[in-house]
Amino acid sequence: MKRREFLKRSGKATALAAVCGGAGWFFHDRHWFKYQPAVVSRHDFQVDPDSRFPSIALTRNEDHVAALNEALDAVGSIKRFVQAGEKVTIKPNVGWDRTAAQAANTSPLLVGEMVRLCLAAGAAKVVVTDLSCNETRRCFLRSGIKEAAEKAGAEVLLPTEEDLVVTDLGGVVLTKWPVLRPFLDADRLINLPIVKQHSLSSCTIGMKNFYGILGGRRNQLHQEIDQSIVDLAAFCRPTLTVVDATRVLMRGGPQGGSLDDVNIEHSVICATDQVAADARAAEFLGLEAARVSHIVLAEKAGLGTIDYRSAGYKENI
């Protein structure tokens, strides 16, 4: 090998080695693709307390739309909760591939009316969404909620992975979890649960309904069901809780399926105190709220009061 060729080849080899080494050094453990979750503080969607209105009201009326309006007017009209130009997110329970009559999902009538009320109050946008357990589109279609909400003018979001944002919920068991975006960027949050029996938490009403804002390994939450419900309720304190107790699923919850398990109650609760709402609604299931551990824990955490009568409970039957 001639000297010149020797030098050329050695130079090229050294350059290639330098590129390899440099690339290795450059890419070494620089956290390039490590995902940094957005840290979002606790969300408080509540309105300021107003002594003129009770924090919970229940109306019984066979016309469910009228029942909703009456209960809402009792706690202050929609104007108290939704101002012009605000983005509102409504969280019905659309967990299962069941029809409205089977009482596993919130009544589409109430969802539609709530959307209409928000838009009438001048809301810029109303999003209706839930992360269903069964296949999302089947749940939204069969429950009738997609049709009702869209007819009333809402944007119905059928969630995909894209809509989840890893968020610090700041709870005891719920720390960093993927949360649906509409529950982070809304101005107002209206929780619209239905009342159902649940074998582990006794009941699924308002606070448990917030399971539906989470993605990820939700099936682990049962291991700490009371604390995780309370963590969630503390994270997203809703503007308003509207409990659909028009039909109540007494057994076989939270999925139901048989009409024999459904009691017809024709009742709607509106509340600014979500603990009080759950406490009152639990009575439809024959439960005493003081013995339902997640409701007790929520009161202890300062999220509201179990003694709903002291919260100025108004009943209009």
Partner 1 sequence: MTIRTVRNLRRFSQVLFFLVFCWLILETNFEVKINPDTVSEISLPYPVSIALQFDPLVALATLLANGTLFKGLLWSLVILIPTVFIGRFFCGWVCPLGSVNHWVSEIKSERISFRGKGRIESNRYKKYQRIKYYLFFFVIAAALLGSLQTGILDPLPLMARSIGTFLLPTMHAASEGALHWVKSFGVGPVSRAAEAVYDPFASLLLNFRRVHFHGIITIAFLFTAILVLNRVFTRFWCRGLCPLGAMLGIFSRFAVFGLQKDEKTCDHCNLCLEHCQGADNPDVGVRWRQPECHLCINCQAACPQGSLSFRFFPTLEGAKENPPPAQQVDMSKRKAVASLIGGAALFPLLRSGDAFSINAGERLIRPPGSVGEDDFLARCIRCGQCMRVCPNNALHPTMMESGLEGLWTPILIPRIGYCEPSCTLCGQVCPTGAILELTLAEKVGDKETPANRIGTAFFDQGRCLPWAMATHCIVCEEWCPTSPKSIYLKEEAVLDRQGREVKVQRPYIDPNICTGCGACEFACPVVDRPAVYVTSVGESRSPDNQILLRRKIAARPPQEIPYER
Report if residue 137 touches partner 1, rule: CB under 8 A.
Answer: yes
202/251 Cα distance (integer angstroms): 10
141 DSSP 8-state letter? H
275/297 Cα distance (integer angstroms): 10
Q: Which is nearer to partner 1, 127 or 292 (CB)?
A: 292
146/148 Cα distance (integer angstroms): 6
Of 46, 77, 83, 134, the one binding partner 1 (CB under 8 A) is 134
Of 54, 76, 92, 108, the one binding partner 1 (CB under 8 A) is 108
**Which residue(s) pair with 156 in the sheet?**
128
1/26 Cα distance (integer angstroms): 35
Report if residue 133 touches partner 1, rule: CB under 8 A.
Answer: yes
- Window 272-301: residues binding partner 1 (CB under 8 A): 285-287, 291-293
Q: Which is nearer to partner 1, 59 or 107 (CB)?
A: 107
274/12 Cα distance (integer angstroms): 72
Report if residue 263 touches partner 1, rule: CB under 8 A.
Answer: no
Amino acid letter for position 77: S
Structure tokens, 158: 């059928």
Q: Which is nearer to partner 1, 105 or 267 (CB)?
A: 105
Nearest distance, CB of residue 217 and partner 1, angstroms: 7
- Site track for partner 1 across 16-55, x = CB under 8 A: ----------------------------------------
Q: Rounded to the nearest 5°, which phi and psi values hold at 37?
A: -65, 145
- Window 187-226: residues binding partner 1 (CB under 8 A): 197-200, 202-203, 217, 219-220, 222-225
Nearest distance, CB of residue 215 and partner 1, angstroms: 14
Q: Which is nearer to partner 1, 146 or 188 (CB)?
A: 146
Locate all alpha helices (DSSP H) within the chain, ordered by sequence: 3-27, 64-74, 78-81, 108-120, 136-142, 145-152, 225-235, 274-282, 293-300
Amino acid letter for position 219: N
Of 78, 88, 92, 97, the one binding partner 1 (CB under 8 A) is 97
Dihedral (CA of 127, 132, 137, 142) sign: negative
Report if residue 75 touches partner 1, rule: CB under 8 A.
Answer: no
- In the complex, the residues that contact partner 1 under the rule CB under 8 A are 96-97, 99-100, 108, 133-135, 137-138, 141-144, 147, 160, 197-200, 202-203, 217, 219-220, 222-225, 250-252, 254-258, 260-261, 285-287, 291-293
